[in-house]
Amino acid sequence: MKIWVDADACPVVIREILFRAATRTQTEVTLVANQRINIPRSPYIRFIQVSQGFDVADNEIVKRVQPGDLVITSDIPLAAEVLDKEAMALSPRGEMFSANSIQAQLTMRDFMETMRSSGVQVGGGPAPMNAADRKAFADRLDRLLSRV
């Protein structure tokens, strides 16, 4: 299993958890982003910088991901494409995306996008990451890595 990270929006604290896990478990982690991201020197950690543009990083991940790989993302459309390729998708808050629920999540995302584009104010976005979110992510990641 390789881990792919949608790194443009991935919180630094989650990247640090991934870096430690990569070294500890000797698992390849590749960050994909359209801006430079500093990574530690490690044979297990890589970075791919893609050009600027809408969904360029997402498309690169979809192109490279293989069945059984893990993608870290909060992007629901990317998670759906990853699941279609028989890979796993995990949010930075530790929530696994599943084939059973992804369609409902896409529908809700599209509905909210339609509301926002028509001028309706809907929520203020997700709450800031907290210690419980970091722990949920780290715990889920550890369970996934221990299965491999």
Buried b (16+ CB within 10 A) or exposed e, 28-60: bbbbbbbeebebeeeebbbebebeeeeeebbeb
Mean residue pLDDT of the chain comes to 91
pLDDT at 125: 65
Q: Where are the domains of the chain?
A: 3-121+132-147
Question: pLDDT confidence of 103, banded at 50, 70, 90?
Answer: confident
Percent share of the chain, pLDDT over 70? 93
Question: pLDDT confidence of 119, banded at 50, 70, 90?
Answer: confident
Instruction: Kindly state the average pLDDT of the residues 131-142.
Output: 97
CATH architecture of 3-121+132-147: 3-Layer(aba) Sandwich (3.40)
pTM over 0.95: no
